Amino acid sequence: MKTPDDVAEMMRLRACGWGVKRIARQLGCSHHTVKDYVAAGGVKPFKSPERKKQLDGLEGWLRERLIRHRGNADVVRQDLLAERGVAVSRRTLQRAVQPYRQALKAEALATTRFETPPGRQLQIDFGERLVEIGGAKVKAFVFVATLGHSRRL
């Protein structure tokens, strides 16, 4: 890539009637470079090559898995290999899920705690989950009671 000043000089010299090879010698570059800029009519924007990526079409699946695994890209990468047969590097997957990770972080920051003095508030949560006990799947019921003042910040 040449600087805009170099390209402007190429265009000025070409308008003066100079040949492509003469301009190239004057500016110290290849005549092919001068020919390309003259044909483009000036500065041409850099365009990265359009390549098919290994993760194209898997955006929804990646988002769902990243949410399921609470932002752990390495576990998502292992699932990708096991379920889809797609092997990618850890860094490739981290780049692919970066927008989703930012959304998870923003969502976590959006929640604020309601703080109260001691003995004024109790939060109760119920849940159920299938767990494996002795090789058999059993539905376990969970009860959690949290005092508002006793939570760690």
Q: Is the confidence at residue 153, as pLDDT, over 60?
A: no
Same domain, yes or no: 71 and 105: yes
Same domain, yes or no: 63 and 103: yes
> pTM for the full model?
0.43
pLDDT score for 52: 84
Same domain, yes or no: 102 and 121: no
Flag whether 52 is in a domain: no
Range of the domain at 18: 4-40
Flag whether 49 is in a domain: no
Same domain, yes or no: 67 and 91: yes
Flag whether 46 is in a domain: no
In the predicted model, what is the mean pLDDT of residues 5-30? Answer: 93
Based on the structure, what is the number of domains in the chain?
A: 3
Mean pLDDT of the chain: 87
Same domain, yes or no: 63 and 102: yes
pLDDT score for 2: 83
Flag whether 45 is in a domain: no
Flag whether 125 is in a domain: yes
Q: Is the confidence at residue 136, as pLDDT, over 70?
A: yes
Q: How far is CA 147 from CA 82, 105, 108, 119, in A?
A: 42, 26, 21, 7
Same domain, yes or no: 105 and 134: no
40, HSE (Cβ side, Cα atoms, 13 Å): 14
Same domain, yes or no: 30 and 15: yes
Flag whether 17 is in a domain: yes
pLDDT digits (tens, 9 = 90+) for 32-77: 999 999 999 888 777 777 888 888 888 889 999 988 888 888 899 9
Flag whether 54 is in a domain: no
Flag whether 50 is in a domain: no
Cβ count near 67 (within 10 Å): 14
Residue whose token pair is 């402007």: 8
In the predicted model, what is the mean pLDDT of residues 90-115? Answer: 81
